[in-house]
Amino acid sequence: MIYCVEDDDDIRELMLYTLRTTGFEAQGFPNSELFWQAMEQVKPDLILLDIMLPGSDGLSSLEELRAKKSSESIPVIMATAKGTEFDKVKGLDMGADDYLVKPFGMMEMISRIKAVLRRTQSHVQEDKTLTIGSISLDVQNYTVKKDNKVIHLTLKEFELFALLMKNPNRVFTRQELLNQVWGEHFVGETRTVDVHIGTLRTKLGDASHLIKTIRGVGYRLEEEND
């Protein structure tokens, strides 16, 4: 199920028509109030969220989605007429998985949805647990634990941390992390990586030292010596 939150009736209906004819189940909402009512009943696989909405705007809804444990890992693609780099980066820094700038083609929308869903579902297809020190990452069940206690991560935080966990001691440039986690089509600043590394370190607590900053280059995850 894909939720489409868009206040323009014509655009919303076109998006829903395209989604349904492409094989997706989809439901549309003209405002965030109706969207949140639906969220209480059924959690979608992905959310298309417009920034400029009546009442509570899309960025406020995104912030609330990422703050709730029940919705923090649901993929979100921002759809907006505001095409400045600041708006794109702000949404991505707040936890959006991708963005669409109006006017966008319906096939571009479908392509981006499929790409985000592929990245999400790839975690389920793998069947192994990665462990470094007190941290374990279960790719199949999409969980990260520290001392057997679950750490709640957003989708992008999980993807970023999983990439580092799968490649211990490898140095990644910020651009490499952007390409592999956000996709090569991402247009924005590499500080997006820095923001997500910062939130990861905060959530890891006293295990944050595992993520090392390589000055002027990027980051690596350091294996602990016994």
Residue 116 has pLDDT above 80, yes or no: yes
Under the banding of pLDDT at 50, 70 and 90, the label for residue 119 is confident
Which residue in the block uniquely carries the two structure tokens 């319906």? 106
Give the pLDDT band (50/70/90) at residue 214. Answer: very high
Label residue 70 by pLDDT band (50, 70, 90): confident
Superfamily of domain covering 2-122: Response regulator (3.40.50.2300)
- The upper half-sphere exposure of residue 218, i.e. CA atoms within 13 Å in the direction of its Cβ, equals 18
- Quote the percentage of the chain above a pLDDT of 70: 91
Reported confidence tier of residue 83, pLDDT bands at 50, 70, 90: low
3-state secondary structure of 193: helix
Kindly list the domain boundaries of the chain, sorted by start residue.
Answer: 2-122, 129-221
Half-sphere exposure of 87 (CA within 13 A, CB side): 17
Would the pLDDT of 127 be above 50? no
Could you give the 3-state DSSP secondary structure of residue 35? Answer: helix
Nearest CA-CA partner of 137 in 124, 47, 128: 128
Which of 81 and 113 is assigned the larger pLDDT?
113
Q: Is the pLDDT of residue 120 over 90?
A: no
Distance, in Å, from the CA atom of 216 to the CA atom of 226, rounded to the nearest integer, reads 29
Strands 129-132 and 135-138, bridge-based pairing: antiparallel
Out of 1.10.10.10, 3.40.190.290, 3.10.129.10, 1.10.8.60, which CATH number does the structure's domain 129-221 have?
A: 1.10.10.10
pLDDT at 90 over 80: no
- Report the candidate in 212, 203, 201, 215 with the shortest Cα–Cα distance to residue 224: 212
Query: What is the reported pLDDT for 36?
Result: 94
pLDDT value at 126 more than 60:
no
Q: Give burial (CB, 10 Å; 0-12/13-18/19+) of 61.
A: buried
Q: Which residues pair with 214 in a beta bridge?
A: 218
pLDDT of residue 122: 58
pLDDT at 155: 87
What's the pTM value of the predicted model, to 2 decimals?
A: 0.58
pLDDT tens digits for range 29-51:
999 999 999 998 888 999 999 98
- Please provide the average confidence, as pLDDT, over all residues in the chain: 88
**pLDDT per position as a tens digit, 128-180:** 788 998 999 988 778 999 999 999 999 899 999 999 998 888 899 999 898 88
Q: Of residues 91 and 195, which shows the higher confidence score?
A: 195
